[in-house]
Amino acid sequence: MQPLRGTKDILSDEILIWQHIYSKALKILTLSNYHEIRTPILESTTLFTRSIGNGTDIVNKEMYSFRDQGLREITLRPEGTASIARAFISNKLGQENRIQRLWYCGPMFRYERPQNGRQRQFHQLGIECIGSFNPMADAEVIRIAYSILKALKCPDYQLEINSIGNTLERNNYKKALVEYLYKYKDDLDTDSLKRLQINPLRILDSKNQKTQEILCNAPLLASFLQKPSKKHFYNVCDYLACSNIGYTINQKLVRGLDYYNYTAFEIKTRSLGSQDTICGGGRYDSLIQQLGGQETPSVGWAIGLERLVLLVKNIIALKENQPSIYLATQGTLAQKKIWTIISILEKNLISFELDLNGNTFQKQLKKASKSGAKVCLLLGEDEVHNNIITIKWLKDGAQEQLKYNNLSTLINKLKS
Ligand code: ATP
Ligand code: MG
């Protein structure tokens, strides 16, 4: 039996890296006053069609949607922001505090062609700063992504940033872009030709070389931005510079989801082939209103954790936790008494592994050596009758017997 195509089991060796990423990120997020939120993996399909947009790849081709027994149209979430916007409205979060700083982490689902760093079930860590139009919010969220990557000693990452303006500016630009591209329509690749009708901005990040050549002389989005949009963008860039965060302005960066406006950014790497984006985000000022809430300007990002794991896995050397003490028992009495010893170890935060093979002490000692434990505690009928425990230090084979009441001397040795 194999897992479904595009899904995988994450085994305990790799989980160490996930836990390391999680704990570093949690520290940084907590320092900046971001709070965790968990939303359901299942949402109604309309949440995503209304927010991500009908002309996008996610909604058109990638969603895992089905009808449940109650004939509701359901989708496994393909991303986190729409659900958070929904949760913000459902729970009236803005009433308690106008600014909500939230983070989430969990599985997302997209029906895509699986490749290195691209799966059908993948994981995102994301943050949303909800309730502010201040460009400081944009700088804050980008800075946090940077701090996390830095704390993880992630090699090779670059920030690209752009402003995609407001709806009006974008619509004017779309018109000019379509008009320009229409002249070259016979030379465009098939995907771009389709997008000319439904989502012309996405043509800008086409990977087709001929299309990219055509785009060299295309009108630029920046020249359609008016003063307020430009000022917002300059401010964001300024604050990034003040945080010593290097960036390049990529005028063709547009992002694949409809809800973004003004700031759009991606953090890219050159180490993962065509799956080169580790983090994608931007400002989404009308999403919450579009879903039925009040006007709530917001900004956020999501990091693809599988890609991050690929980047950092060779850098951080992590060792699986090994038990300090291996517990070998023989006979019914010993197997009853061991539970008292276990609770003493647990209270003293001493890690242990209880032998479940039930073989001879000799075989249990072999297992103990393999387990990486420092010491093996042997408890048999004799030990129980005499109220003692036998201890074998696994490094040099030294053996001693302790009064049961003196278990604390062993615990102190293990702690030191
Ligand atoms: P891409 O261009 O690589 O398809 P995207 O623009 O669709 O990415 P976003 O929707 O912005 O991605 O999601 C944010 C991040 O989540 C991406 O930068 C990437 O790291 C990760 N991600 C997206 N789709 C997948 C996937 N199918 N498998 C693994 N990670 C993914
Ligand atoms: Mg994608």
Alpha helices in 326-391 (DSSP H): 332-347, 361-371, 381-386
Closest atom of ligand 1 relative to the 303 alpha carbon: 15
**Contact between 325 and 374 (Cβ < 8 Å):** yes
* Residue 317 reports pLDDT greater than 80: no
Q: How far apart are the first and last CA of the chain?
A: 46
Cα 91 to Cα 146: distance, rounded to the nearest angstrom: 30
Closest atom of ligand 1 relative to the 57 alpha carbon: 7
**Contact between 85 and 79 (Cβ < 8 Å):** no
**Contact between 220 and 177 (Cβ < 8 Å):** no
Closest atom of ligand 1 relative to the 274 alpha carbon: 3
Q: In a mutational test of the pocket of ligand 1, which residue from 113, 122, 142 has the highest number of ligand atoms less than 8 Å from its CB? A: 122
Q: How far is CA 399 from the centre of its chain?
A: 48
**Contact between 60 and 54 (Cβ < 8 Å):** yes
CA of 183 relative to ligand 1 center, distance in Å: 32
CA of 58 relative to ligand 2 center, distance in Å: 7
Q: What is the dihedral of CA 341, 343, 348, 352, to 10 degrees?
A: 70
Cα 74 to Cα 412: distance, rounded to the nearest angstrom: 56
Q: What pLDDT is stored for residue 296 in this prediction?
A: 97
Q: What pLDDT is stored for residue 256 in this prediction?
A: 74
Alpha helices in 104-226 (DSSP H): 135-151, 167-182, 190-198, 209-215
Q: What is the mean pLDDT of residues 319-342?
A: 94
Q: What pLDDT is stored for residue 141 in this prediction?
A: 98
Q: How many CB atoms lie within 10 A of CB 92?
A: 9
Starting from the CA of residue 274, give the closest ligand: 1
Residue of the CA atom closest to atom 28 of ligand 1:
118
Q: Which SS3 state, helix, strand or coil, does residue 39 take?
A: coil
Q: What pLDDT is stored for residue 198 in this prediction?
A: 86
Report which of 249, 244, 252, 192 is spatially closest to residue 221, judged by C-alpha positions. 252
Amino acid found at 206: S
How confident is the prediction for the chain on average, in pLDDT?
Answer: 95
- Token digits for 120? 């059908």
Starting from the CA of residue 112, give the closest ligand: 1
CA of 130 relative to ligand 2 center, distance in Å: 24
**Contact between 77 and 109 (Cβ < 8 Å):** yes
Q: What pLDDT is stored for residue 205 in this prediction?
A: 84
CA of 334 relative to ligand 1 center, distance in Å: 54
Q: In a mutational test of the pocket of ligand 1, which residue from 121, 124, 278 has the highest number of ligand atoms less than 8 Å from its CB? A: 124
Residue 192, C-beta contacts closer than 8 angstroms, at least 6 positions apart: 181, 203, 206, 208, 211
Q: Give the CB-side neighbour count of residue 105, counting CA atoms within 13 A.
A: 14
pLDDT in tens, 257-274: 778 999 999 999 998 888
Burial class (CB in 10 A: 0-12, 13-18, 19+), 256: middle
Q: What pLDDT is stored for residue 89 in this prediction?
A: 97
pLDDT in tens, 282-304: 999 999 999 999 999 999 999 99
Report which of 237, 258, 267, 251 is spatially closest to residue 81, judged by C-alpha positions. 258
Q: How many CB atoms lie within 10 A of CB 62?
A: 16
Residue of the CA atom closest to atom 4 of ligand 1:
275
- Token digits for 313? 């896995």
Cα 100 to Cα 88: distance, rounded to the nearest angstrom: 9
pLDDT in tens, 232-256: 999 999 999 999 999 999 999 988 7
pLDDT in tens, 115-165: 999 999 999 999 999 999 999 999 999 999 999 999 999 998 999 999 999
pLDDT in tens, 175-200: 999 999 999 989 999 989 988 988 89
Positive/negative CA dihedral, 380, 382, 387, 393: negative
Q: What is the mean pLDDT of residues 39-62?
A: 93
CA of 71 relative to ligand 1 center, distance in Å: 30
Q: How far is CA 169 from the centre of its chain?
A: 32
Helix (H) or strand (E) run with residue 302 in it: strand 298-304
- Cβ < 6 Å from ligand 1: which residues? 79, 110, 112, 117-119, 122, 124, 256, 275, 277-280, 302, 304, 306-307
**Contact between 215 and 203 (Cβ < 8 Å):** yes
